[in-house]
Amino acid sequence: MTMRTLYHIEVSTFSRRVRLVLAHKGLEAELRDCRADPANLAEMKRLSAIGMMPVLVDDGHVVPDSGAIAHYLDDAYPDTPRVFPREREALAKALAITSAIEFAMTTLVDVGGRYFALSKDAAWSEVSSERIGRARDAIGFVAEQATGKFLVGDQWSAADIWAITSTLWVGGMAARAAQGTATQHVLQMLTLDFHIPDALAAWAKQHEARPDVRAICG
């Protein structure tokens, strides 16, 4: 029996992607939350050179990064439903969408979290505005693709998974702040001029009730 473990943070949009990919494929994994248990964080850092979540350990194979994990699972388990299309044009579109979302979310996390301690620097306003502007452009590109039920083709794919997790995560920040459950990093992200476009938020509404989305994204 294959032993599969996912080192993750439960509320992270990056980790939720992978959990939705696993659910789509019908693959189980032991979940080890690295924020809830310092021992899990230490083990994840020992396993992965990049030291960031999520990290999948699948029967001894260590795979970091949500995009890499999704590609790995598509190839390692060819009999399960794919999340990245095989057809060239559809694959190119899916990669363009997931890359844009990856850039937007990573930029938001970096500027609002990892680098926010530099916000008193004289260069902060110019640098942060340029970075967040590029993140808005990236998520705007994704919103332009939201013209049908699915972002690529006629079935659920990595593009949809990346989009729904990011839309719900960003869209829920204000509510968490109002409820007093937001982390300091989320509060800092809320000070940045970044929002999910209305078209993308409207697209997400039709998928919020999916059982896997409700179970993983809340």
Distance CA 189, CA 173 (A): 9
For each of the domains in the chain, give its residue range(s) and CATH number, in order of start: 4-76 (3.40.30.10), 88-213 (1.20.1050.10)
Percentage of the chain lying above the pLDDT 90 cut? 94
Residue 124 has pLDDT above 80, yes or no: yes
Residues 83, 70 contacting (CB under 8 angstroms): yes
Q: Please state the rounded mean pLDDT for residues 66-87.
A: 98
pTM score, whole prediction: 0.95
22-67: pLDDT as tens digits: 999 999 999 999 999 999 999 999 999 999 999 999 999 999 999 9
Distance CA 139, CA 163 (A): 9
Distance CA 218, CA 209 (A): 10
Q: Please state the rounded mean pLDDT for residues 134-141.
A: 98
Q: Please state the rounded mean pLDDT for residues 122-126.
A: 97
Distance CA 102, CA 12 (A): 13
Residue 82 has pLDDT above 60, yes or no: yes
Q: Please state the rounded mean pLDDT for residues 94-115.
A: 97
Q: Please state the rounded mean pLDDT for residues 88-112.
A: 98
Residue 182 binned pLDDT confidence (cut-offs 50, 70, 90): confident
Residue 1 has pLDDT above 60, yes or no: no
The pLDDT of residue 2: 59
Cα separations (Å) of 208 from 30, 84, 169? 25, 21, 12
Residues 98, 69 contacting (CB under 8 angstroms): no
